[in-house]
Amino acid sequence: MLDPKLLTAIGDLELIARVTVEGTLSGLHKSPFHGYSAEFSQYRHYRQGDDVKYVDWKLFARTDRLYTKQYRETTNVATQVLVDGSASMAFAGGGVEKLRYARLVAAAFAYLIAGQGDAVGLTVYDDRVRHYFPSRTGQPHLRGLLTLLAKTNAGGGTSAASSFRRAVDLLPRRGVLVVISDLYDESDAFEAELRRAVHIGHEVVIFQVLTRDELDFPYGTDVELEDLESKATRLTGAGARAAYRREFADFLERWHARCARYRIDYTRLITDQPLDGALRAYLMRRAGSAR
């Protein structure tokens, strides 16, 4: 299992991505994250050596002749990975910073998708698009993407709607949008953009990255909290924990319901989770859903 703290201490993001993907897919017959799709093209007479799994046995029963189905491979799926680089992603809570964990997830996905021969790109945003890397194929492109990702630091406010809209509009065809964020932007505008992306045929995948402290609120005494984006502060008492946890549970439930409503693939990742285990669980669930 790949400890996030150990991974973030390694400077080579390409190495991390390769090791993570190899560990994630170990024991799986093949990656369930397919980019290519196949469409039926035509029948032709069976030839010795053809794979029998493509024989149409129902047609054989009617005609007493062997025919195989031919398929054509459709265009590569283009994937755009969107990473939230806002200041709230700098929170670590005594563990791994959310943005550092998000970078590991983004790097692993980019490596996995590029390894299948599919196009992958990167959008880093805060209250605007900070960096945009178009979806393309090839190892030089992947290395450039990972280099840009490694240099990404947290800062700025959050306004996901306009950045997400731009990423959608720049995809050359229907594709996959992978959002990696703490999802503290719950604006109606962002929800509308998510809904629009699904409506026009894109697949949307969301990874909500959170720390254990955000879930549990382990502060048992009076503590002053600072909003990393607005810099506003608030003094809380020892009795704030129960109220906070109720509010945070409601926040998580809203995102879970929102994604279910629009058929968005939603996964919550906690920054103390070993990365390969977290991604493996996601890919196995995805493969099960596809079946």
User: Tens digit of pLDDT for each residue in 48-102?
Assistant: 766 666 777 777 787 888 877 665 444 567 999 999 999 999 999 878 899 999 9
* pLDDT of amino acid 27: 46
Is the C-alpha dihedral spanning 168, 172, 173, 178 positive or negative?
negative
13-32 per-residue burial string, b: 16 or more CB within 10 A, e: under 16: bbebbbbbbebbbeeeeebb
Domain ranges of the chain: 4-31+77-286, 38-73
Query: CA nearest 20: which of 141, 82, 78, 106?
Result: 106
pTM of the predicted model as reported, rounded to 2 decimal places:
0.79
Asked if 81 contacts 123 with a C-beta cutoff of 8 angstroms, the reply is yes
Asked if 270 contacts 208 with a C-beta cutoff of 8 angstroms, the reply is no
- How many angstroms separate the CA atoms of 282 and 207, rounded? 10
What residue has token string 């998510």? Answer: 194
- How many angstroms separate the CA atoms of 88 and 61, rounded? 63
Q: Tokens representing 45?
A: 């007479």
Asked if 67 contacts 43 with a C-beta cutoff of 8 angstroms, the reply is yes
CATH number of 4-31+77-286: 3.40.50.410
Q: Tokens representing 35?
A: 């980019």
* pLDDT of amino acid 20: 67
* pLDDT of amino acid 88: 96
The count of C-alpha atoms lying within 13 angstroms of the C-alpha of 120, restricted to the half-sphere facing its C-beta, is 29
38-to-76, 95, 280 alpha-carbon distances in Å:
11, 44, 25
What residue has token string 């990702």? Answer: 149
Q: List the chain residues with pLDDT less than 50.
A: 27-40, 72-74
Residue 139 burial (C-beta neighbours within 10 Å; 0-12, 13-18, 19+): exposed
* pLDDT of amino acid 113: 87
* pLDDT of amino acid 35: 42
* pLDDT of amino acid 154: 94
